[in-house]
């Protein structure tokens, strides 16, 4: 036992210990057909976790809904399921089969159905209600990401069916399609969680919520601006365009409503729900299909040597690849990513495509581009050949194709499409409102029909949250970057007030983009802690009250005491259920304004209601107990992809769950002391860390990682 303690950080009994479900390795899903996971109602981190768990169990994941045999979803209502499938590009109609119960059970277990005489099949079918076919899992709470062509394919094996016991009446007469026409079944996501608990795949038929087959989409798609609906200036607040058009058709069935929705789809979506810009293939093939054009875009091909290569002196003698490329290191937390990349111009173009994917609800595309961008940003040489890109972990032929196009033409057609897209301009306008994410931006535009900030104020002000109202009110001010000098001054003021409400033992550190070296930041993120853990309990309340008293805070938009309410313990590990997000520390999100200005006394003397002319800033104050302050600093100092890969690395390398409140073992739910807080004398040092940075370095060491300076974590 002593030797074990010397080789790994100490594991402590957590306050919320639980026993995890059987290890995913005990569940074998390799015999199931390709599975598609719908993003509806999933937090991003939970969706990623589910997909990784499925892969751990040997499942074949696909991001192409057209090839999926099983779709996992949280959605229960058939109409909503059909809508979600259509939003992902799959138009369907419900199908009721008349298969025998023996075939249903065999197919659900992954076995081929037996041939039976027609008379026997008809006799059994009379006792079978609705039975479900190939399963698709869709999440009920959000529309899924745009399907990304993917992945490996396996021969169809088991197909899930649902059997309803009962009255012996045959299901409604919908003819079963011929064997060559595939059926699709939507399966409740609880099938996977229950199968993990059982340690074996449960029959799918008991979890199927919707069985369907694909139908052709409507032949035409008028653009949004061609729709004869109520104009922006005359419609009622909160009135949906779609609702206005079909209000007189209360008896319309799901297909009629789907056709109506398609007629009013935004012009920048083709009839399959795909965007008209960018690539949709994960690797290989020509993915540059122009939506609705009927022919592929004329992009440069990857491995055809061009005259441009000769003219620019491209050489087959490429630079020696860095060690992380040779070793195929896929996690951004294992390599250095500086802020100034020699390939910054090309990366900036990819970031535009990534943002477009975010705004159009393509979570898969966002992750794919994020991974590629992080790899390109870590590459230390200026790229001169697509073969260099092909060698980088996380990059594939589609990125190399984009590079060739850019190198040969000086532009990328997909980026030009993004820049010229009117829908994306509006979506980005809304997305840049503080408190409005990509999903809400789409709701504002596509559901409510708003086109600008004036529409929001005129037609929907009362429907906004308080945070969103503040975001609209100070829209331009919040977009104005904060210089480093001003960030530092705000940090000094917060620290002074933290000491004032406690004592000189308070430590603070400005994190976020400032710590990574940005010359101007969108907001200020600051962590406050104290070596005496009792001093950080509920301190955020006192800091905010003190700052408000001096006039530095004009609005407190969020005051969270999640960590204090659980006695500042590490977030409990849960294998299933909703997540708490990456961060669950005590925090205050506030609007900041310098209360003093040069002519303040004169202005107030002439007009007691004179307004403060100073600009408003966004400031986040985060509180961490000293026991896990290293995790907090690490969690708030890296780029988005760096943080995502840090969590993935912790899971796959150690079976740990990492977040900014600490680390827990996924096997037993116990807290893992990676910072040596409890005096563990091993390879991470003796006793408690003296500074926040020292605690952060212990986190890297305890996780088996080389420490990276914040300036080396600029993955975007």
Q: With left for phi above 0 and alpha for psi between -120 and 50, is residue 303 left, alpha or beta? A: alpha
In this prediction, residues 459-488 reach a mean pLDDT of 96
3-class state of residue 621 by DSSP: strand
In this prediction, residues 562-575 reach a mean pLDDT of 73
* pLDDT at residue 639 in the model: 94
Residues of the chain with CATH 3.30.460.10: 482-712
Phi, psi of 202 (to 5 degrees): -80, 155
* pLDDT at residue 238 in the model: 40
Per-residue HEC secondary structure of 25-36 comes to: HHCCCCCCCCEE
CB 148 within 8 A of CB 124: no
Strands 520-521 and 553-560: unpaired
Q: Measuring CA to CA, which residue among 71, 73, 96, 83 is closest to residue 184?
A: 71
According to CATH, the topology of domain 482-712 is Beta Polymerase; domain 2 (3.30.460)
In this prediction, residues 546-567 reach a mean pLDDT of 90
Order of all β-strands in the sheet with 524-530: 506-510, 524-530, 617-623, 586-592, 553-560
Structure tokens at 177: 């399609």
DSSP state of 520: E
Tell me which of 108-117, 434-443, 487-496 is least confident: 108-117
Within 13 Å of residue 59, how many CA atoms lie on the same side as its CB?
Answer: 28
Alpha carbon distance 396, 401 (integer Å): 9
In this prediction, residues 558-564 reach a mean pLDDT of 85
Other Cβ atoms within 10 Å of 317 Cβ, number:
6
In this prediction, residues 167-182 reach a mean pLDDT of 44
Measured on CA atoms in the order 708, 710, 711, 715, is the torsion positive or negative?
positive
Residue with token string 């796959």: 652
Structure tokens at 361: 């609800």
Residue with token string 């088996």: 704
On the question of pLDDT at 206 being above 50, the answer is yes
Radius of gyration of the chain (CA): 28
Residues of the chain with CATH 1.10.150.110: 274-433
Task: End-to-end CA distance of the chain: give it in Å, rounded.
Answer: 42
Give 623's contacts (C-beta < 8 A, 6+ positions apart): 527, 528, 529, 536, 539, 540, 563, 585, 586, 587
* CA 564 to each of CA 240, 538, 559, 623: distance values in angstroms, whole numbers, following the listed order: 42, 6, 12, 10
Q: Contacts for 533-538 with beta carbons within 8 Å, 24 or more apart?
A: 533/568, 533/625, 533/626, 533/627, 535/502, 535/503, 535/505, 535/506, 536/568, 536/586, 536/623, 536/624, 536/625, 536/626, 537/564, 537/567, 537/568, 538/564, 538/586
Portion of the chain with pLDDT greater than 90, in percent: 46
CB 154 within 8 A of CB 60: yes
Alpha carbon distance 451, 420 (integer Å): 16
Overall CATH class of domain 274-433: mainly alpha
Q: Measuring CA to CA, which residue among 478, 474, 540 is closest to residue 506?
A: 540
Alpha carbon distance 529, 688 (integer Å): 14
On the question of pLDDT at 256 being above 90, the answer is no
* pLDDT at residue 117 in the model: 36
pTM over 0.85: no
Q: Taking the C-alpha atoms of 78, 82, 87 and 89 in order, what is their torsion angle to the nearest 10 degrees?
A: 150
With 0-12 CB in 10 A as exposed, 13-18 as middle and 19+ as buried, what is 471?
Answer: buried
Relative orientation angle of helices 344-359 and 413-420, to the nearest 10 degrees: 50
Query: Predicted confidence band at 126 (pLDDT cuts at 50, 70, 90)?
Result: very low
Other Cβ atoms within 10 Å of 571 Cβ, number:
26
Tell me which of 194-198, 295-299, 389-393, 462-466 is least confident: 295-299
Instruction: Return the H-helix or E-strand segment holding 325.
Output: helix 323-326
Residue-wise pLDDT for 588-628, tens only, equals 999 999 999 999 999 999 999 999 999 999 999 999 999 99
Q: Taking the C-alpha atoms of 679, 682, 684 and 686 in order, what is their torsion angle to the nearest 10 degrees?
A: 40
On the question of pLDDT at 155 being above 60, the answer is no
Structure tokens at 682: 């091993």
On the question of pLDDT at 245 being above 50, the answer is no
On the question of pLDDT at 288 being above 50, the answer is no
Structure tokens at 367: 């992750």
On the question of pLDDT at 156 being above 50, the answer is no
Q: Measuring CA to CA, which residue among 170, 415, 192 is closest to residue 288?
A: 415
On the question of pLDDT at 340 being above 80, the answer is yes
User: What does 122-177 look like in DSSP terms, one character per residue?
Assistant: HHHHTT------SEEEE-TTSPPPPP-B----------------SS-PPPP--PPP
Q: With left for phi above 0 and alpha for psi between -120 and 50, is residue 168 left, alpha or beta? A: left
Q: Contacts for 684-690 with beta carbons within 8 Å, 24 or more apart?
A: 684/9, 688/531, 688/626, 689/629, 689/630
* pLDDT at residue 309 in the model: 44
CB 521 within 8 A of CB 636: no
Q: Measuring CA to CA, which residue among 538, 703, 510 is closest to residue 621?
A: 510
């Amino acid at each position: 036992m002593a030797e074990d303690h010397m080789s790994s950080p100490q594991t402590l009994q957590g306050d919320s210990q639980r026993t995890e479900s059987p290890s995913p390795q005990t569940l074998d899903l390799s015999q199931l057909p390709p599975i598609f996971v719908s993003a509806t109602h999933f937090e991003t981190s939970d969706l990623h976790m589910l997909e990784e768990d499925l892969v751990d169990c040997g499942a074949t994941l696909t991001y192409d809904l057209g090839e999926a045999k099983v779709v996992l979803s949280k959605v229960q209502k058939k109409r909503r399921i059909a809508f979600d499938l259509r939003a992902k590009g799959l138009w369907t109609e419900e199908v009721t089969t008349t298969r025998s119960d023996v075939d249903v059970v065999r197919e659900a277990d992954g076995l081929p159905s037996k041939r039976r005489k027609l008379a026997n099949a008809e006799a059994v079918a009379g006792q079978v209600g609705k039975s479900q076919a190939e399963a698709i899992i869709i999440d009920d709470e959000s529309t899924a990401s745009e399907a990304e062509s993917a992945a490996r394919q396996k021969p169809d094996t088991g197909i899930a069916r649902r059997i309803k016991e009962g009255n012996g009446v045959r299901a409604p007469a919908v003819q079963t399609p011929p064997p060559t026409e595939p059926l699709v079944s939507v399966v409740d996501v609880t099938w996977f969680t229950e199968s993990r608990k059982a340690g074996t795949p449960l029959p799918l038929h008991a979890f199927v919520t919707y069985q369907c087959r694909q139908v052709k989409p409507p032949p035409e798609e008028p653009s949004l601006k061609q729709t004869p609906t109520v104009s922006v200036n005359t419609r009622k607040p909160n009135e949906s365009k779609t609702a206005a058009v079909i209000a007189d058709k209360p008896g319309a069935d799901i297909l009629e409503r789907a056709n109506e929705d398609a007629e009013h789809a935004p012009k920048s979506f083709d009839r399959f729900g795909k965007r008209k810009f960018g690539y949709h293939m994960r690797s290989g093939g020509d993915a540059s299909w122009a939506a609705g054009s009927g022919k592929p875009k004329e992009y440069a091909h990857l491995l055809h040597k061009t005259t441009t290569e000769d003219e620019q002196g491209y050489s087959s003698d490429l630079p020696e690849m860095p060690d992380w490329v040779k070793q195929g290191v896929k996690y951004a937390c294992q390599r250095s990513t500086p802020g100034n990349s020699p390939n910054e111009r090309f990366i900036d173009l990819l970031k535009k495509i990534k943002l477009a994917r975010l705004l159009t609800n393509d979570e898969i595309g966002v992750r794919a581009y994020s991974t590629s961008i992080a790899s390109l940003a870590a590459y230390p040489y200026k790229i001169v050949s697509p073969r260099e890109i092909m060698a980088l972990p996380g990059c594939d032929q589609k990125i190399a194709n984009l590079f060739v196009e850019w190198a040969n033409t000086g532009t990328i057609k997909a980026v030009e499409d993004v820049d010229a897209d009117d829908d994306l301009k509006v979506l980005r306008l809304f997305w840049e409102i503080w408190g409005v994410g990509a999903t809400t931006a789409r709701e504002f535009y596509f559901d409510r029909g708003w086109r600008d900030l004036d529409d929001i104020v005129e037609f929907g002000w009362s429907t906004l949250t308080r945070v969103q109202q503040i975001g609209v009110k100070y829209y331009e001010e919040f977009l104005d970057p904060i210089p480093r000098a001003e960030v530092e001054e705000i940090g000094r003021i917060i620290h002074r007030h933290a000491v004032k409400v406690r004592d000189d033992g308070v430590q603070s550190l400005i994190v976020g983009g400032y710590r990574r070296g940005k010359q101007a930041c969108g907001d200020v993120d600051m962590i406050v802690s104290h070596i005496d853990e009792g001093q950080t309990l509920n301190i955020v309340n006192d800091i905010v009250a003190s700052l408000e008293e001096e006039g530095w805070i004009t609005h407190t938009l969020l005051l969270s005491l999640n960590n204090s309410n659980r006695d500042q313990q590490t977030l409990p590990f849960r294998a299933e259920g909703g997540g708490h997000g990456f961060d669950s520390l005590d925090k205050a999100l506030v609007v900041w304004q310098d209360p003093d200005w040069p002519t303040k006394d004169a202005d107030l003397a002439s007009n007691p209601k004179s307004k403060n002319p100073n600009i408003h800033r966004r400031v986040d104050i985060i509180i961490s107990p000293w026991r896990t302050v290293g995790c907090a600093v690490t969690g708030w100092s890296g780029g988005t992809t760096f943080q995502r890969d840090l969590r993935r690395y912790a899971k796959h390398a150690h079976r740990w769950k990492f977040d900014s409140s600490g680390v827990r073992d996924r096997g037993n739910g116990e807290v893992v002391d990676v910072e040596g807080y409890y005096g563990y004398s091993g390879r991470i040092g003796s006793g408690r860390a003296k500074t926040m940075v020292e605690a952060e370095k212990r986190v890297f060491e305890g996780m088996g990682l080389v420490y990276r300076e914040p300036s080396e974590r600029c993955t975007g």
